[in-house]
Chains A and B, each alone.
Chain A
């Protein structure tokens, strides 16, 4: 029992669901993210990424299911709030107030607040402190918001589409800031970044949650997932023998040969198949396609019922 208390998962959800009127934004989401991980939350637009993040941050409440964040349910209490940093997609700030004003707001609204951290980061990036943040460029604003979120010294940092508004250079700066923050925290900081493109996150993440059609398609350690999955190239014939031992995620047939992305359950014994390593992007695309297809199928059946 003491073991469980020592290392609670940073995030643990059980059949977490959120409905907005009749639309299901997130359906029975069950995932875990261990502490100290950098987790990519990937999925097409409208897959439920924002909904999941907002529920984890305590800004939205689930319709059903449970979430445990750093050992407790997301709630309105100063201790919980001080441990979770959340940066919404819109990069919300008071446009007429300066970065310095925001740093001072942080000082007054947090028990634990590292103003010098924010000052140092903004000075490194040469972002003016005294100018209204509304007059800064999108990239600078994102950096200010990130510096403020980091100054809170959270144990869990939730960033919703942090790259959406950034050009490639700003993206690189932003990622560098994040990477150094993770390094500085030495395993104390868990990070969740959402994006609809996995390429944005590939270099920094070691964990992934893939959402499509409001459902979790796959989640877990990226390295483990990449060893578990293979691309099998072989003759375009009955897939039953492969489907029996392994799970075929995605099939693509081209000119008599087929390419199948499968989740392995044991070794591939059939010599007709050639097993190739899978890239993260291939993996994500395969599951995303499968998820979208099943979501579409689900919608059709619902339509037929009514």
Chain B
């Protein structure tokens, strides 16, 4: 069976390897340049954090979009390899040839899906490893590895995405029995689910930490924490997020005078405003996921996608075994 998979997918594999190698070459070349720039910045600034803040961007132009490769890769794999896996055999009736050999449909499907899920996981893993390494200096400089966008391209979650997209393609193709609708399902379904999970579920994998602090001081969570919300909160629970655009409507009467005038946006008058708010029982708050939760979150999110993939593959097996060929 493995030989058949090899024979059917060796061209796919060769193309994928070439593309992956090309992407790797670009990432490596650019990554080394970023790393050397980062080293010279570290030497120049010698531990002075103010100096670090004044450095220009580490990444330039087009190459800064590199992480998006690992966002696109899973859905491309799901569309090009996953969707046709069963559907194309049914469309061209080659299922009648291969299922008339002495291998059971279960074994045929197990070997085929097994190798393709492995291939998807490996593609996702290789790209994720490269992106993680490439992002190292950026993570260090801007402490943003936990933020949406960065979190999704690094660590182990891209492996989960790739495995899931492949499983989605296989299952959709099996249900629809046609490749084209399955491709549409992968594209729509994968993007929708990614947005949903990243936007709605991910902030709540573990209850976020909220820290309160005096408005006259400043606070930022230590390390590469993921800040979900920060701003000011009144004694009665009225909140104003950072940016302070909505401050005008809720500000206590005593501080109203500080609002007037075009200078409101300026830091000087804001600090007077903060003192006034502080005096009237307002506090600063920061709701965030601490940096040490980065890997637990990576694990939870990867787990969700792998479990969904497993469910989709189980559905595929049930259909292929029971439905008439």
Contact = CB atoms under 8 A, between A and B. Distances in A.
A57 B104 CA distance: 12
B108 to A, nearest CB: 8
Contacts of A111: 102
Given A59-B324, A104-B3, A105-B7, A86 B96 contact: yes
A57 B324 CA distance: 11
Interface in A77-99: 77-78, 81-82, 84-88, 90, 92-95, 97
A81 B101 contact: yes
B16 interface: no
B321 interface: yes
A88 B7 contact: no
A200 to B, nearest CB: 21
Interface string B94-106: 1111111111111
B101 A61 contact: no
B103 A81 contact: yes
A152 interface: yes
Contacts of A112: 102
B7 A97 contact: yes
Taking each of A77, A92, A101, which has the highest tally of chain B beta carbons within 10 Å of its own beta carbon? A92
B317 to A, nearest CB: 12
A78 B102 CA distance: 5
B102 A92 contact: no
B1 interface: yes
A93 B102 contact: no
Contacts of B98: 105, 109
B39 to A, nearest CB: 51
A210 B321 CA distance: 31
Given A77-B104, A92-B97, A152-B102, A61 B324 contact: yes
B307 interface: no
Contact of A101 (B1, B7, B94, B104): B7
Nearest to A93: B97
A106 interface: yes
Nearest to A59: B325
A108 interface: yes
B259 to A, nearest CB: 71
B105 A57 contact: no
Given A54-B325, A60-B325, A104-B7, A109 B102 contact: yes
B3 A86 contact: no
Given A59-B96, A92-B93, A106 B324 contact: no
A88 B99 CA distance: 11
Contact of B94 (A81, A84, A93, A106): A93
Taking each of A54, A94, A102, which has the highest tally of chain B beta carbons within 10 Å of its own beta carbon? A94
B3 A81 contact: no
B96 to A, nearest CB: 4
Interface string A47-60: 00000001001011
Chain A contact patch, size range: 20 to 34
Nearest to A88: B96
Contacts of A86: 96, 100
B93 A108 contact: no
B217 interface: no
A59 B102 CA distance: 13
Contact of A76 (B8, B97, B105): B105
A108 B1 CA distance: 6
A110 interface: yes
Interface string B294-325: 00000000000000000000000000011011
A76 B100 contact: no
B26 interface: no
Contacts of B324: 54, 59-61
B4 A109 contact: yes
A105 B94 contact: no
B4 to A, nearest CB: 5
B90 to A, nearest CB: 10
B93 A78 contact: no
Interface string B1-18: 111100110000000000
Contacts of A101: 7
B92 interface: yes
Contacts of B322: 61
5 contacts: A54-B324, A76-B104, A76-B321, A108-B1, A109-B102
Q: Lowest 6 A-B CB distances belong to which pairs?
A: A109-B101, A82-B102, A60-B324, A92-B93, A88-B96, A59-B325
Interface of A: 54, 57, 59-61, 76-78, 81-82, 84-88, 90, 92-95, 97, 101-102, 104-106, 108-112, 145, 149, 152
Interface of B: 1-4, 7-8, 92-106, 321-322, 324-325
